[in-house]
Structure 1
């Protein structure tokens, strides 16, 4: 989605605790295991009530419950690992996203729309096949201190919180804090929305249509870290898609990082994008530059304060904008917390960014050039 550098009880980042819960057998997870294999159930349910201003042509206000994300996206999953001997293991992940407000599936209604892959892991690295995250997602986890929170700098580029690709082959190698990753998709996201990079999936006639490739280099030293990644989507979705032709590409390059000082964490990043697709208020046939800075502070072990600012500029176009977001969270336990969110987006004349990252566009989208404010109270439980 990350994001993810805020600290919690015991001096750890609560985002780190969350991702550890997703990537390993957490003590609170229900699991079945025997001598050389295990299957772990994990997840999070996160929901609340939000208020958003200046929605649609009437500039109306809306009170509703989000469906895509709150402080974190609601999800559950199964993670398995079998020891094959000689340092080799078989691994798999099945991960489902859902909307607590309705009990419905996200990611286009897929049962395992967040992740669904199997592979092999050893001293040489991990090779996996299936629906997986682009490497840019793992890179942005390093320096984005607030996303996938409902209000965050990522509202200026929603793709960064959900860059998953179908039919993907991924390789990752980690050693001494250094991680290298590459992902190649044979045809991405036949049912995803345009902001998520939707395309027509694998094509039997056009070798380039709907392909995707990404690569990442990351170093994490504990007190500081830095990551860089490149992500390219090829078109071929046909009329009405963001990249109709397979000769068109949408490319992002990002560098970001974090540093910790006592009870505080600061993160910042810069992303350069070249999109050759059709121009809309949020998809630019132009070069854009997007940067963000944010931080988190723990005045007490049970209280986390987060703030973030982001800004995007688009070449030769008044289609940029800025966003400021803040959150206060109280940890009732290591697994359960309550929080208050607030955010505001400032749109330039031709831009229509929404502060509301919790619903599918255009549900809360303002008119071009209109600013928007959001506020939310919520509760989250990890399991």
Structure 2
């Protein structure tokens, strides 16, 4: 994201002045204690109107403004870096996700639910502590539509929301190679157990609610390959998908992308073993293409396939999107998708709202469509 340009938004002259004064005061009070310091304000506002079919027992249709995501989730954040000398810097990120429909906080009502961490960075890599993404998120380079409201990732929503609390993370980039590792002392104490939350850091059970992930990536900018290992431990008790700490939910990702002319192709596989599920083993395949015929137009097409071993609880999905960039910061788009559920599956096409608000009956497909606008600051 780029640093905010308040001149582009009418009515923000006062905020611009206040922000600059605050930075000048901070710089003056710390003069002589650091070589350089910068703080950037950034964000995205993405919203529109969506249509979803076949909701609930009545198979009703709905028009609504989504809460969670459009082409990307809405968020704002602060990113800071201070030069400590000797090639080492102090870094921090505070990032808040919000729903444009009602102005409410996402990620379970957290103020900085998307990211909240601080650490040190240098030529050796970056070491950070706080609420952070799992490494599987940084390895997902073959997903051409990302967290779009209708996308192949609707078949495994964890991939776009793989964050852990109380985490220690290391990441390093060495030429085209990148590697990372994250360990959480207690992955989530905010969400309820039924939604995948856990009890956080446990003083009595060393495995309870822990999480571990690792990533290895080779990315040249024109093509890339990445793999990741991601494991969550249970321990949240009754009502949780993983009630016991001896149970785990593990994903292994292999994916990649390649650019050719005006097109970018991507795809991959996620192999999952969820010991809290009646049928624990599944495979999720995804593939997509993005075509940019002009600097203003981006066209996306994506396919996803989920198969659960020994159970007809999988689904397939087709999604598409056409985006027109009005400027470097503002774009309008139309996106649509269709999910085809197997007879025991209740997966929804709609990644923009809580699943319980738009779930179809078992075996029923859904169609979604949305017209939206996105502004980056």
* TM-score over 0.5 (shorter chain): yes
| Partner-residue secondary structure (3-state), 1:300 | coil
2:370 to 357, 372, 376: 376
Deviations 1:216-237 (A, max 9, x none): 0001111101110000000001
Instruction: Provide the C-alpha distance between the structure 1 equivalents of 2:176 and 2:194, rounded to a whole number of angstroms.
Output: 32
Contact map agreement 2:39 2:79 (CA 8 A) in 1: yes
The match for 1:89 is 89
State whether residues 119 and 126 of structure 2, in contact with CA within 8 Å, keep that contact through their aligned partners in structure 1.
yes
Distance in 2, matches of 1:183 and 1:223, equals: 27
Q: What is residue 290 of structure 1 aligned with on the other side?
A: 284
Distance 2:196 2:88 in 1: 34
| 1:184 and 2:214 aligned | no
> 1:36 is matched with which residue?
36
Give distance in 2, aligned partners of 1:222 and 1:194: 40
The equivalent of 1:128 in structure 2 is 128
Q: Call closer, same or farther: CA 1:332–1:268 in 2, change over 3 Å.
A: same
Q: 1:311 to 1:254 in 2, by over 3 A?
A: same
Tell which structure's C-alpha radius of gyration is larger: 2
CA root-mean-square deviation:
1.5
Determine if the alignment matches structure 1 residue 227 to structure 2 residue 220. no
CA distance in 1, matches of 2:111, 2:70: 20
Instruction: Look up the match of 1:365.
Output: 359
- CA deviations on 1:239-295 (whole Å, 9 max, x unpaired) are 00110000000000001000001111000011100000144xxxxx42101101001
What is the 5 A alignment of 1:1-383?
A: 21=1, 26=3, 28=5, 32=23, 36-140=36-140, 142-192=141-191, 197-279=196-278, 285-383=279-377
Q: Can you give the 5+ residue segments of structure 1 that lack an aligned partner in the other structure?
A: 1-20, 280-284
Could you tell me how far 1:200 is from its partner in structure 2?
1.5
Aligned twin of 1:6: none
TM-score normalised over the length of structure 2: 0.91
SS at match of 1:299: coil
What's the CA shift for 1:329?
0.5
Tell me: CA distance 1:166–1:243, structure 2 relative to 1, closer, same or farther (3 Å).
same
Aligned 8 A contact 2:308 2:314 in 1? yes
Task: Report the Cα distance in structure 2 between the residues aligned to 1:28 and 1:171, rounded to whole angstroms.
Answer: 32
Q: Are the aligned partners of 2:171 and 2:179 in contact in 1 as well (CA < 8 Å)?
A: yes
User: 1 CA distance for matches of 2:306 and 2:313?
Assistant: 9
Change (3 A) 1:195 1:37: farther
Q: List alignment gaps of at least 5 residues for structure 2.
A: 7-15, 28-34
The answer as to whether partners of 2:4 and 2:41 remain within 8 angstroms in 1 is: no
Superposed CA deviations along residues 153-179 of structure 1, whole A, max 9, x for unmatched, are 000000000000000000001010110
Structure 1 CA distance for aligned equivalents of residues 192 and 294 of structure 2: 40
SS at match of 2:47: strand
Describe the shift of the 1:310–1:194 C-alpha distance in structure 2 as closer, same or farther (beyond 3 A): farther
Question: How many pairs were matched up?
Answer: 354
Per-residue CA shift, 1:28-62, capped at 9, x if unaligned?
A: 48774755001100000000000000001111001
Residues in 1 aligned to 2:193 and 2:64: alpha-carbon distance in whole angstroms: 23
1:195 is displaced (CA, Å) by 8.8
Structure 1 partner of 2:9: none
State the TM-score, normalizing by the size of structure 1. 0.90
Q: Which residue of 2 aligns with 1:14?
A: none
Query: Matched residues in 2 for 1:270 and 1:116: separation?
Result: 29
Is the CA contact 2:193–2:239 (under 8 Å) kept in the aligned structure 1? no
Shift of the 196–41 alpha-carbon distance from structure 1 to 2, 3 Å rule, reads farther
